[in-house]
Structure 1
Amino acid sequence: MPAEVGFLIGLLAGAVGMWLLHVSARRGAAGEPAEAPAETPVFSFERELETRRLAAENAALMTQMEDVRERLATLERLAIDRSSRLADEIEALRA
């Protein structure tokens, strides 16, 4: 057997052995695949779209919340106002 062929067979056997060590190190004690890291910083187009969608939804909800706060302030003011303006303000809101 020429030296080059023996060298290539040894190199190939070493590579296969390293691969087997790598695979066995990634498996748990029961032969289960190891869990992936909790957070892997991977950029993806889908994540960017989801982030933008959530930002737009958040902005819409903030606007809606401000409208609700204004309406609540008006209702609180009407509920505690005992003067004759109460009837006028109710009529103004109906119009």
Structure 2
Amino acid sequence: MGRDGLTRDFVVGVVAEGIGKGIPMVAMPCVNAAYAQHPQFERSVAELRRMRVRVLYGDDGFVPNPPGQGKPQEYPWHLFLGAVEEIVAAR
């Protein structure tokens, strides 16, 4: 735990609070394929989904690149923004 609460990172704290308040969340991890191989990564994605966070990862979202071969111009922003638009339209 951080000195000032559940986490030391502001963004993580805001997301944690939003989940607790039932605010719809969308996340799209941007990691390389080596990072995604760690078992904790898949557990974290599964836990976020269990908490009803819409995680755009894999076939329906971000697909990791090999390490060192990032392609920022190909990041699928349209998928993320489309998911946010769906949430807004449903409210």
**TM-score category (smaller protein):** under 0.3
Structure with greater helix percent: 1
Give the TM-score of the pair, scaled to structure 2: 0.23
Give the TM-score of the pair, scaled to structure 1: 0.22
Higher relative contact order (CA 8 A, sep 6+): 2
Structure with greater strand percent: 2
Q: Which has the larger radius of gyration?
A: 1
